[in-house]
Each structure stands twice: as C-alpha cells, then as structure tokens.
Structure 1
Amino acid sequence: MTRAQQFGLIIGLVLVAALTLLRAIDPPLLRQAREVTFDEYQRIVPRSFEDMPVRVVDIDEASLQEFGQWPWPRDRIATLVDRLAEMGASAIAFDIIFAEPDRLSPRSVMRAVSGFDPALLDRLPDNDEILARSIADKPVVLGFGLSNEGSYRPPVKAGVAFVGESPVGAPPRITAATPLRPQIEANATGIGHVSLNPGASSAVVRTVPLFLTDGEQVYPNLAMEALRVAQGASTYVVAGAPEIADTMTMVKVGEFVVPVTRSGELWLYVSPDRAERYISASKVLAERGPSAETAAAIEGSIVFVGTSVAGLQDIRTTALGQNVPGVSLHAQSVEQILSGRYLSRPDWADGLEILSIAAAGSLLVIVTTFVSPAVALAFGLLITAMALVASWFAFYYGGLLFDPLAPIIAASITHFAATAFRFLVTDRQRREVRRAFGQYLSPSLLYRIEHTPDAMRLGGDDRELTVMFVDVRNFTEISERLSPTAVVAFLNTLLDALSRHVVANEGTLDKFIGDSIMAFWNAPIDVPNHAEKAVHAALAMRETLAELNANDAFGFGRDYVVGIGAGIHTGVACVGNMGAETRFNYSAVGDAVNVAARIESACKDVAFDILVSDNTARMLPGFALLQAGALSLKGKSTLTRLFAVVGDERLGASPNFIELKNIHQQLIEALRARSTASRRLINAAKLKSAGLPPAAADFYRRISRRADHFRDEHHEAESGFAK
C-alpha cells in the first residue's frame, strides 16, 4: 500500500464516520427527504379504495347553494343528525366545532333587537338547545380544536386503560382546547380532537395523532372516537413499551388493534380521493327525504360530517399529492383500520440505516482505494440497487418504511470523495495541462473537443443567433489620461465584471476586441428564449456598471462616469470553428453580426445605452421597450428599426412605464407631424422617466433633433417596410 493510498483510506474512513454521525443527528433536511421518498412509494402503490362502511357527508357547494352560506343554523344541523340516525348511521362524527352560540338562533337574533321584551326571550327557540336534544341518545361524536388561550379541557367520554409502562406523555401536547357549547357537549356520546398534523413543519399530512395529552390524561381524535362509538365500546386499551415510559406501541379499540408510532400516531396509507366516499349534505336534507340509494349508503356506516368548500379552509394535502377535505382524512383513518392495511416504521429502523451507512461507506472506501474506478463504480451502483430493492420490498410486502435515500446519498458522497481524491493524486499532470489550455479556450469549446469527434474540423453551421456588441464610451479620452498599465487595469476590471453576465445568462463569450465585447446566444447549443437572455445580460451590465461607478472602482473619482453602449440583433449567422487547420477560434460571422455591431455604434446617435433591432424586439414580449426610430446603418440599403431597452418585464408591466409609453407614442406622432405639441410631450416624457435609467434623460434631450428618424420610419412603413 502506497502512502497516497494510506492517506486516501484514512480520509475516506473519516468521511464515512462524519456521514454516519450526520445520519445519527438526523437533521430536518434528511427527514424531509425520507418523508418524500415514502410519499413516492405510496404514489406508486396507493392503498386501493374499497367500499367500506365509512362515508363523508359533505357540506359542499351544492349544499350551500341550496341551504345558504355557512354557518348554518343549528336546527338544520339537528335535522341532519335526525336524518342520519333514522337511516341507521352507526356513528355520526362532526369535523365541525360548535364553540360559539348560534347567532342565527331566534333567541340570539331577538336579543339584539332594541325594544324587544326580555321576558319573552325564554319563550323563543334556541338552536343550540334543539341540537343538544337532537344528539341526545344518538351515536354522535363532536370535534374539538386546539387553542393557545385558556385552560379548558374537553371531557373524555371513554375510559383509557394502560398496559406496560405509562405512555401518557407520548402523544403531542395539548395546552388548551376551544370550549364547546355546554349543552351540546354534555349530550354527545363521544368527543375527539380534529387536529391532523399539529406542529408539523410540512403541509402534507403523513401521520395522524390518535391521541393528545396534557401529561395526565389522553384525548382521542375524532376518527378513534367514531370507531369506538360505532362499536359501542367504552374503553381504549393503550400499550406502552416494556420498561420505557412515554412510548406507545399499540392501541386497541373494540375489536381493532392499531399499531402506532412511539408518539401514538397512525401512519396514513391513503387511497386516491374518490367520489364514492362522499354524499352531499343536500341529498340528506332533501325536502322529500333522502333517496333509497343515499339511505343504503348511510345504513350501518360511520359517517363523518365536514366540508369540501375551499373557502372554508379545511383542505389538506395527502402523500399522493392530492388536495382533499380534511374530513376525508378522518374517514380514511377509519377505512385503513377497518382494512387492516398499515404502514409502520420500526423503532430499530434508524439504527439499521445508520449501521448500513457505516458498513457500506467503509466497503466503498476500501474498494475505491485498491481497485479500478470502473469496478468501484459498479460496486457503488450495486449498493444503491440493493438499498432501493430492500426498501421497496419491505414497503410492498410488509408495509415497513425504511429509508433507502440516506445510505444511497452517503455511499454516493463517499464514492465521489474517494474517486476525487484518487483523481487529485494520480491525474495531476493531465489536469495541469487542461488548466493551462483552459486559459485560452472557452469551457464550451473544451467540452466539444472532448466529446465530439469532429469538433476539431473547420467550418460552421447556419443558426439563428442573438448577437450582442458592447463598447466603452469615450475610451480614447480615458486612455489618453492613463498610462498603458492603468488602461489595462481599467479594462480588466470593467470587462471582467461585464462579461460575467454573458456566462450567467447562458451566452457564449466570443472575444474581446480592445474595449469591446462580442457575445452571442443559441450556440454551440440551443438556448431557449435566447433574445430575452441576451437582453437580461445587457440590463445586468447596466446595473453592474452603475455600481462600479458609484463605488469609484476605476479610481477616476466619482465625478467621472464610465459609460457603455450595447447593440443587440437577432438573425441567422454562420457559427463554428474558423481560422487555419492549426489555429482557429469558435466564432460567428454573417450579416447578423454586422448589424449588431452597427446597432452598438448607433447608441451614440440615439443617446441611449442599450438598443435592439426590430427582429429582437419581436422576441421580447412584456419588456420595457421604447421606439427609437429607424436608422440607416453602415452597409445596409434599408433602414433598421431600433428600440431602446428601458428595463425588463417587471418594469414593462409597471403603471409608470405604461404611462411613459403612451406619452412616447404621442410624441412620435407629434414629431412625424412636426407638431408644436412635441415640446410639451418631451417635457412630460422627461418627468415620467425621472425614476428610470439615466440614459432615458439623454434620450429625450436629443429626440427632437432626431425627428427625421421617426418620419423616415413612418414613410418606409407605408411603402412596405417590415412592421
């Protein structure tokens, strides 16, 4: 074993130890990735929908249209309870909290009427009393919510027997609940909490707490109470772990034994949302009574009453990625228990995953150190496949949740690090050669040379490109003031800062020509929206130059402002390797390149820093553009319409720019008509452009001298010029 191999082995094992420790700490990012993996398993094989004796009576849009907006008067809720009981519902559970007095009750309404005799109030009906009488002696379960205020705890309508060590401290904590109406609460057969994921950081409901605790008493949730009441059971049996306090392992309610997490939560194994699960409340409350089909669906079923109306804000996200009413998840909890199909994550799962990271990582380090990279890669892929297959089989055949992602990520990092170390040691000379040539060739050209057999040949392809030329204004004056060394330092600072935006916006930096930059987009590979990205690069250059001037990055003093001009044109050009067989460059040539260069020169005449051609402007929907007239560019027999780029899409949609654009259009018409109104419109445009880039002020100061540019544009348009 060489010293390099020894050193690599030690570094690799230290990395494995660090990754193992990271998994033992289990930061939130790893937990989220694990949960998303388990979601994907459910999406691949969701729990199949079965016709269980569980239904959701949905206060849906149809119900609200027929019986009015929510909340309904509670005498109507009482009618709903009576109808469901008459049809033989085995339990009626409300995912609705009856906390406030019914404001629609006749007694409440008349109490607010001035002059009404208080002595007559007691003779008026009270909807809360009507509902309380309705639910008495019926299998009704009420829901309660959590509160951050007060100390109210709802009564527990069932007994709770503990087996093993007391698990009373295991469930999520309840500090207070929202008080229910006393007369309604007293007559309910069961009371359960409606919280689906209290304190969870994710909006996806993956587990449901079957109990909450205040440290002395446990409070069942709505689904458990509904299942208990439906069976006529009076007691829960809650098992704790042997010799481990505050840990739950199992809950028995009636005939059903439910495996739970250590904190008393049920892993939801959801089925796709189906219409068969729901019955509209309007069908139950129909004036002529429920239909035979509705009665058959309700008879013997556990019925949950809730709402699917989005405006009532009880919409939740399942592991399948579906947005469903919260009440349906209570129903699915009971369906899952009735079907006996559970998901579970054993207590020893964390230990197994940590051990697998340590063992697989150590083996990978050894293999990568002593065998070829190809064999090491094959071994790493084998570990990945084994982790995935084992995790999937555990889920599919046993409902067990084991995380394949953490071992795979750890193995990948370990393999990458060990391979990278080996590469650093054994391939240093080749890397040095590539680095040296990389100073002269662009990364895209290097990639082409390495991966394309014909990349070294001369020649090119015709492609639509967006070409940009950028030039420094008054460079001759600047160079006369500086020494040659200072000129080079100035150019390096400026061109480096500006050229970064070409690369950041997926452009190809062609060359530096003295104080100019040539770049193009959509080659050597296709770049979607290449015109937009070129203009975004130019706008970013404008902002960067403003910062450099403000910070006096060139050392000229803040009174001297360095300016640039950018010309952009979209058209067909020939792009490829050009030059001699022994020395060439990847570049573009053609009319599109010439036009872009001429547009950059036209920035001086127009007195604006970023100009685009009509071709490019057509590809910039929503950008803040202003017509700059039609100019005769050198070498072109026809006029070229130009547009000044004031800003991006966000500025283009701003009310201020829209007003400026309207004023600008009126100004153009006035200039074409030689109207005296042009002076007033110029002043109005100057005022409206006060908060825009400084170039806008110069643009409007000079626009009256360029009236011919707009007249010529108009004349050519009338004679068939491109519009």
Structure 2
Amino acid sequence: MGLLWKHWPRIAVTLIPLVFALVHAIGLVPIGFLQRLDDIIYDARIRATLSNKADERIVIVDIDEKSLAEVGRWPWSRNRVAEMVQDLFDRQQVALVGFDIVFAEADESSGLKRLRQLAQGELKDQAGFGERVNQMQASLDYDALFAKAIEKKPVVLGYYFTSDRDGRTNGVLPAPVMTKDALRGRPITFIGYNGYGSNIEQIARAAPLAGFFNPIIEEDGVVRSIPLVAEYKGAYYESLSLAMFRALLGLPKVEPGFPRDDSRLVGRDYQSLENIRLNVAADKVLGIPVDHRVATLVPFRGPGGPQAGSFRYVSASDLVAHRLQPGTLKDRIVLVGTTAPGLQDLRVTPVGGTYPGVETHANVIAGFLDGKILFKPDYAIGYDVTVVLLAGLVLAIGLPLLTATRAVLLSVVVIGLVVGLNFYLYLGKGWVLPLATTLVMCLTAFALNMSYGYFVESRSKRELANLFGTYVPPELVDEMVKDPEAYSMKATNKELTVMFCDMRGFTKMSETMEPTQLQELLNAVFNRLTDIIRGNRGTIDKYMGDCVMAFWGAPVETAEHAHLAVKTAMEMANAVRKINEEHRAKGMPEIGIGIGLNTGTMCVGDMGSDIRRAYTVIGDSVNLGSRLEGLSKAYGVDIVVSETTRKIAPQFAWQELDRVRVKGKEQAVAIFWPLAPADRLDKAHSDELKTWAALLKAYRAQDWDQCDLLLLNLQRMNAKKYLYELYSERVASMRLLPFDPEWDGATNFETK
C-alpha cells in the first residue's frame, strides 16, 4: 500500500483511459471511433479465417450479364422463369429453390391483357376471336404458368421490407412465424419496418412460404449480418435464410428463445433473445443464437462471386436453354439471384466491395447446416466491461511500479492475453466479442504512463541526477532516481563516515615540475583514487588542492558506511604504492598519502552562497576526521581511524596507535590503523599485535622498563616500522619525568 500511495499520481493518470473505456463499454457515452475500430478488427478477423472451401450443397442460379445478353433484360417473362423452375425440379431434381428476387408486379408481356380488351371491344363482333383468346389464355397467362410451376414444390419466395417509403406496401406477405403473444409480454428489440414489397397474390398463393432478404447495412455501409426475424405491425416474419433452413427441416415451429427463467442475472424486462428456437421434433429443439437485434452474423466462406469458389454458380441462361446435363444439380439447395451490376444486388462486405447479395444468404444457410454460427452474444457488454476493468487495473497498478522494460513486457502480456482470449472464444465458440475498447485502453494507458514517467518523474530524476551526479557514483544515482522524492539537498543530521585524504610531496614537486606536468600528474592520481571511492559507494565532497574529501551514508543511506570507508582507504593506500612503483620505473618522484577517517553525527546538505553551493558535510565529527588525517604523518602510517569508526567496522584487524587530544577537543580519543581484513591476518602479525597491546598497557601505566623490553621485541618483529621507533623515543623522554598519577596516556596535538 505504501508503494501504491507513493505512485498515486501515476496510477491516477493510468486510470484515465480506463474510465473513458468503461463509460464507452457500458454505453453511457458511446465513442464512434471505438465502434468503428471494432468493426475493422472484426472484418480483419473474418478475412484471416476464411475457409475458402467450396460448399457443394448449395448452388446459386445467377441471373448474370450472360443471361441478360441471351434472354433479355430483367425482369424476364414469367414463362421463362417457369421453364427454369421446371428444369430445376424435373431435369435437375434439386431439393429446394429459394428466390432472392421478388415478383412484385403482374407479367403482361404476353399481350393477353390487350387481346382481352380487343375481344371485349373493337373485335367483339369478330367471329371466333373471343373464343380463340380464351383458348390461348392458358399459354399466355405467364403468371399462372409460373404459379403452376412452383405450386406444391419446395420453393421459398423472397420479398423485402422498407422503412423509407412512407409505409407503402405492395404484394402479399406470407404468414408471420411469431406473434406478440409468443413474447410473453417481454419488450424484445426486433428490427422493425413500416412497409414492404412482396409477391403478387397469384404467385404468393402458389408458394406460401417466403422470407425477406433485407441485410443489415451498418453505418459504414458494410453488410456484416442479417436479421433472422423482423417486426411489422406487431407480427414477426422470418428471413429468406431462416425460411429455407426451416423448409429443409420440415418447417418446424419458430419460437423465441428466452434466457433461462431461473437466471438471477436476467429479469423479465430484459430486451434480448438468447436464440431462435426451432422445434424440430417433440424431443429436439434447435437453437440459433442471435444478437440484440435478433440478427445473425454472416459466416463468410470466401471473397464472393462466381470466381471465388465458395459456392457453385450456374448461369440462369444455361438452365433456360437446357444446356446443363440432367441430374447435375440433384439434391442441391438452389438460390436464384443476380450478380449483374445493373440489377443492384451487389453489397459491400468485410470480404469484398462487390459481394453478391444472394451469396450472403448462401453463407448463412451453410452456417445453419454446419451448426457454425457467428454471433455477438447479448452479454458482450458485460464481457467488455469485465475485461476492460481487469486489464486496466492490472496496468494502472503494475506500470507505475515497474521499470520501462518491464512495463513494456507487462503491457505486451496483458494485450496478448486479451487478444488470445478474444480469438479463442471466436474460433472455438463463434462468439464475436468487443476488442477495440480494451486494446485502445491498454495502449493509451501504457502511453500515458510512459509519458508521465518521462515528462514528470524523469524530469525530477534528471534533476536529481544533475544535482548529485558529480558527487555520487552512477550506481547510487541509479538507486536514487527510483525514488527521487526520498532525496533532497535539504540539510539534515545523519551518522556518516567522513574521509580526508592528503597527497604528500606535491608541494616539493611543484618547485621542479612545469604546471601542466604537475596538473597532469595530480589529475591522474585523483582519477584513480576517485574511481576507488565511487566504486565503494562513496560521495565525493570536494577537491582541495592535493586533498580529496569524501563521505559515506548520504545521500543514499548505507548501513555499512564505516566498513566501506575503511575498505576504500586501504585500497587507496595500495593504489598509491602501485603508482610509486610506476613512478620509480619512470624515474619520477614518489608521492605519499595520509588518510583520516571518522564516524559520527554530521550535518549533510546543500550549503554555500547564492553564487556557489555544494553538497557537503559539516560538524565536529568532520573536523576530527580532518585532524586525524594530519596525524598520519606523525605516526608514520598512511591511515588513521577514530575509535567510533573502528567499533562499527569489526571486519578488519586493527593496531591501536595512541590516545590523542587534538586541537579544539578536550576529550582524548583512541586512534587506530587498519592492517588487513580480519580473516587475512597471519600469525606473525597477530603475535605482533598482542605484543603491541601489552606495550600500550605498560606505556599508559608508566612502566618504562617493561616498555623497553616489549619495544625491543617489537623492533625484532618489524624493524622498519616507524611507530616502534616513535615510541622508543617517547619512552626515553618520559623516563626523565617523574611519575604522574594524573596522566591519562594521551598525546596532545596543538596543530591542525
């Protein structure tokens, strides 16, 4: 919770697209762009999953341009259409014929009407003329010929509904498949119309089964679905596809498929159907899933048209001319329609811009037969809201807590899971579910999160890096920028370890070397020592001539600051020894080093004037560190460490140098020299330290004879150590003084 509260501004920014996505998903403020994008995704998914396999069960009889050229312009005389139907049933023995065309007007092309007028008018006195007209009526009444050809045959006529002709009607509608009573008073949302254009009564009476062939044209002009049942004046009529499918099943009764009555999530005011139910048998009900408009998506098999190969196309002129071998279309389902551009039945679909309207019905019928129906379930809104909410919360909480690389990975994983689930339900169950809202939300959340991180958080991180980059090692800056709010230049008191390092011999060198040579030498030494300090997480305070000041424990808190400081000092001393080896090999003068370390409470922060400021430490503990550096030369060692530092750095073997009282301090402090890591001290040095501890005890007890004996042993152990020579001189001097019971064994230093 602490991390979440810390990153709440970034989380809030990431939640912005989630809020907009939810508002769109639940329909409060629909965003047209997202709906359009969902359509584009659906269309792309349709094209990517086309089976492109021919369906041999369904044949399209095409009133194509070839037919119009051979037979004549449409509409043809009904005797020609009757001949074609007779050929389909008698010679080809098809199972079912459906018409994606409407016979809305009487056919007077035979001239029978004019002959009757003549027989009753101008030529009524002409002997035998009226009788001859009556004899010719059977062959010249083309509507009757066509009605006879389809009567008692498995034929489904087509018609269309309208909503843009002021409610005008034409022809005879078939019987509805449902009435309002079947809906049990539920407010189901059907696509409704106020007009229609249907077949003339003579033809409709001969073939009473008919279905409307209206598609649903979306706002972008694309046909993706067709209504299965539509409403007209309180009655409900079936589509051509559903009527033909029912004809194949023996015309089972159509009933609305409501959600389960025991469902706690669905009330009686629910405005959608779950499916259209066909009572195939007493114990068998077939459910066709529908969306909230009681429509079904067209399961396109291929790009459409005679050349696509999804369905077999037969030119109507070949049937009229009897060019097709008998039985070629035996037991096939036939749809009569047109691909001629002039007859205006070409549609824009996801798989093509000039898709034959008749083939959309063929696809739907094939889907019904295969039991593979694509549909957008009525709970698609709930699915969309759930996925958007889960994905949005994961990103809102996860992205602010992760690095840029991991944030990208999280976003990819979330988007991959969302897309994978969506495609799994599409391919496995035929569910067409929204995807655009979640995708746009995820991408926008990622973009906003990264932008906020770069322009807001990264700015503070860059500022922090600029502030501390010259003092602090890069790896510490990297740690600091993860939580820039936790660091500032504001002064505060902390326990830190400070180091003063002075290079000796440069003053003498400056008298014999050119300034540029001295500068080059000093820079080279500083570079090596600075690398060691930064490599051990130290903060460079300042360079003062031939002295460098550093401290540990700020701005990044480090529990082992004393240990790191001591380790750094020993590595610096070794580095100087290597530098001197190089100098000797080149004939260059050697340099010396003196380091003072002290641990204590110090004030650390940005200090200075308006003109120049620096991140530094001040306080008595800092001053003591500086004094200890000055003592290193007096004791002939390169490192002098205070007792406070020694106590919290037990990883090293120490040799106590003395107790000293430096300028400005009344209280004596013990000072130490680090010899080596404690686990690397050999027996000889261990024995030497024991002897040295005994010497210091005798020295502070003013037992000078015992001191002489112990110093003799120490000088035998290490004759070159200046420290033993120093104490020999002190003991010889102290012998001249009387015993002082007030003496605390400390050495006073009055110089800085």
Normalised to the residue count of structure 2, the TM-score between the two structures is 0.52
Over 3 Å counting, the alpha-carbon distance change for 1:33 and 1:70 in structure 2 is same
2:276 match? 251
Distance 2:86 2:297 in 1: 34
Contact 2:226–2:297 (8 Å) recurs in 1: yes
Distance 1:69 1:380, change over 3 A: same
Q: Distance in 1 between matches of 2:176 and 2:457?
A: 72
* Partner Cα separation in structure 2 for residue 54 and residue 118 of structure 1: 51
* Larger deviation, residues 157-166 vs 315-324: 157-166
Cα distance, 1:219 vs structure 2: 0.7
CA contact (8 A) 2:21 2:437 kept: no
Q: Is 1:165–1:246's contact at 8 Å kept on the other side of the alignment?
A: no
- CA shift, 1:111, in A, is 8.1
- Which amino acid counterpart does residue 156 of structure 1 have in structure 2? P
Cα pair distance change 1:246/1:358, threshold 3 Å: closer
Q: Secondary structure at the match of 1:137?
A: coil
Q: Does 1:81 align with 2:112?
A: no
Partner of 1:318: 349
Describe the shift of the 1:93–1:166 C-alpha distance in structure 2 as closer, same or farther (beyond 3 A).
Answer: farther
The AA in structure 1 aligned to 2:20 is A
Judged with a 3 Å threshold, the aligned counterparts in structure 2 of structure 1 residues 166 and 210 are, in CA distance, closer, same or farther, namely farther
Match of 2:325 among 287, 291, 315: 291
**Residue among 67, 81, 84 paired with 1:63:** 67
Q: For 2:209 and 2:42, how far apart are their aligned partners in 1?
A: 33
One-letter amino acid of the counterpart of residue 18, structure 1: F
1:246 is displaced (CA, Å) by: 4.3
Q: What CA deviation, in whole Å up to 9, does each residue of 1:374-408 have, x standing for no partner? A: 22222111111111111122222222223333212
SS of 2:196's partner is coil
Cα deviation per residue 1:381-436 (whole Å; 9 max; x = unaligned)? Answer: 1111111111122222222223333212101111211221222223448999xxxx
Alpha carbons of structure 1 residues 118 and 77: separation in structure 2 relative to 1, 3 Å? farther
RMSD: 3.1
Q: Which amino acid aligns with 1:127?
A: Y
Instruction: Return the match for 2:96 from 91, 96, 102.
Output: 91
Give the secondary-structure state (helix, strand or coil) at the position aligned to 2:223.
coil
Q: Secondary structure at the match of 1:69?
A: coil
State the match for 1:102 in structure 2: 107
CA distance in 2, matches of 1:108, 1:384: 70
Partners of 1:81 and 1:407 lie apart in 2 by 52
Query: Which amino acid in 2 is paired with 1:401?
Result: V
Q: CA 1:156/1:217 → structure 2, altered by over 3 Å: closer, same or farther? A: same
Give the superposition deviation at 1:61: 1.9
* Residue 19 (structure 1) shift: 2.9
1:59, distance to aligned residue in structure 2 (A): 0.9
Q: Tell me how far apart the structure 1 counterparts of residues 436 and 399 of structure 2 sit (CA, whole Å).
A: 21
Q: In 2 relative to 1, CA 323–425 (structure 1 residues): closer, same or farther, beyond 3 Å?
A: same
Contact 2:339 2:356 (8 Å CA) reproduced: yes
- 1:281 and 2:281 are equivalent in the alignment: no
Query: Where do 5+ consecutive residues of structure 2 fail to align?
Result: 125-129, 262-267, 281-285, 464-752
Contact 1:59 1:307 in 2 (8 A): yes
- Within 2, Cα distance between the matches of 1:410 and 1:112? 73
Q: Note the alpha carbon deviations across 1:223-280, whole angstroms, 9 max, x for none.
A: 1112223333253233233434542222234645322223211122110134442111
Q: Does 1:267 align with 2:267?
A: no
Q: Assess if the C-alpha contact under 8 Å between 1:74 and 1:102 holds in 2.
A: yes
Aligned in 2, Cα 1:138/1:247: closer, same or farther, shift over 3 Å?
A: same
CA contact (8 A) 1:83 1:284 kept: yes
1:126 maps to 2:141:
yes
**2:374 pairs with 1:343:** yes
> What's 1:187 paired with?
206
1:411 corresponds to: 442
- Counterpart of 2:339 (choices 291, 305, 308) is 308
TM-score (norm 1): 0.54
Matching residue of 1:149: 166
CA contact 1:168–1:213 (8 Å) conserved in 2 = no
- 1:372 to partner: Cα distance: 1.9
Q: For the residues of structure 2 that align with 1:376 and 1:268, how far apart are their CA atoms?
A: 39
Give, as a single letter, the amino acid of the residue that structure 2 aligns with 1:184: I
Asked if the contact 2:188/2:273 (under 8 Å) is kept, the reply is no
Match of 1:661 in 2: none
What code does the residue aligned with 1:20 have? L
Give the Cα separation in 2 of the matches to 1:265 and 1:430.
56
| SS of aligned partner of 2:193 | coil
The residue that corresponds to 1:360 in the other structure is: 391
Name the CA shift for 1:349/1:422 in 2 (closer, same or farther; >3 Å).
Answer: same
Aligned partners of 1:252 and 1:17: how far apart in 2? 39
Matches for 1:453-464 after TM superposition, within 5 Å: none
- Alpha carbons of structure 1 residues 370 and 390: separation in structure 2 relative to 1, 3 Å: same
Q: 1:55 to 1:364 in 2, by over 3 A?
A: same
Q: Deviation per CA, 1:485-542, whole angstroms, max 9, x where unpaired? A: xxxxxxxxxxxxxxxxxxxxxxxxxxxxxxxxxxxxxxxxxxxxxxxxxxxxxxxxxx
Aligned to 1:372: 403
- The aligned counterpart of 1:394 is 425
Residues 253/88 of structure 1: CA separation in 2 closer, same or farther (3 Å cut): farther
Within the candidate set 199, 202, 212, 2:220 is matched to 202
Give the superposition deviation at 1:131: 1.8
Q: Following TM superposition, by how much is the alpha carbon of 1:77 offset from its aligned partner in structure 2, in angstroms? A: 0.9
Counterpart-to-counterpart distance in 2, 1:193 and 1:114: 40
Q: 1:27 aligns with which of 26, 31, 55?
A: 31
Greater Cα shift, 91-100 or 341-350: 341-350
Query: Secondary structure at 2:328's aligned position in 1?
Result: helix
Q: Is the 8 A contact 1:304 1:331 kept in 2?
A: yes
Distance 1:371 1:234 in 2: 60
AA of the residue aligned to 2:9: F
Aligned to 1:540: none
The one-letter amino acid paired with 2:256 is V
Residue deviations 1:606-640 (CA, integer Å, cap 9, x gap): xxxxxxxxxxxxxxxxxxxxxxxxxxxxxxxxxxx
> What amino acid is the match of 2:8?
Q
Q: 1:248 to 1:52 in 2, by over 3 A?
A: farther
Question: Following the alignment from structure 2 to structure 1, what is the Cα–Cα distance between the partners of residues 240 and 151?
Answer: 18
Structure 1's 319 and 165: CA in aligned 2 closer, same or farther, altered over 3 A? Answer: farther
Shift of the alpha carbon at 1:159?
4.6
Q: CA deviation at 1:51?
A: 3.3
Q: Could you say if the C-alpha distance between residues 45 and 118 of structure 1 is closer, same or farther in structure 2, counting changes exceeding 3 Å? A: farther
SS in 2 for 1:53: strand
Partner of 1:220: 238
Select 2:20's aligned residue among 18, 39, 56.
18
Q: Which residue does the alignment assign to 1:49?
A: 53
Q: Distance in 2 between matches of 1:95 and 1:225?
A: 12
- 1:223 and 1:94 map into 2 onto residues whose CA distance is 10
Distance 2:193 2:73 in 1: 32
Q: Tell me, which stretches of 5 or more residues in structure 1 are unaligned? A: 433-723
Give the letter for the 2:26 counterpart: A
SS at match of 1:330: helix
The answer for the alignment partner of 1:382 in structure 2 is: 413
Letter in 2 for 1:291: Q
Alignment check: 8 A CA contact 2:176 2:237 kept: no
Deviation at 1:176, TM superposition (A): 1.0
CA distance in 1, matches of 2:256, 2:123: 51
State the one-letter code of the partner of 1:149: D
- Preserved CA contact (<8 Å) 2:173 2:199: no
Alignment of 1:233-244 (within 5 A): 233=251, 235-241=253-259, 242=261, 243-244=268-269
